[in-house]
Amino acid sequence: MPSTVDGMLYPIHPLQVVAMGMVVSDSLNLEDLAKACEEEKRWEFMVVAEPLRLPESTGSPFNPIALM
């Protein structure tokens, strides 16, 4: 389906990141989290992404934290 936003081929990223405050992440290593879930027999958690505070920057690596 073609984008309905003028000048943007894929508007989901600006919408997701800027307007909704969601973090876009790929290739996360979730093996330790899967083991922790198995040990605790809990499968629901909230993930928080803690970015580095870099003045005048538009992105940063982040530390993902899973709260069970």
- Residue labelled with tokens 């027999």: 41
Round to the nearest angstrom and report the end-to-end CA distance of the chain: 38
Greatest extent of the chain over all pairs of C-alpha atoms, in Å: 49
For residue 35, give the 3-state DSSP assignment.
Answer: helix
* Domains of the chain by residue range: 12-67
1: pLDDT strictly greater than 80: no
State pLDDT tens for residues 22-60: 878 888 889 999 999 999 999 999 988 888 889 998 788
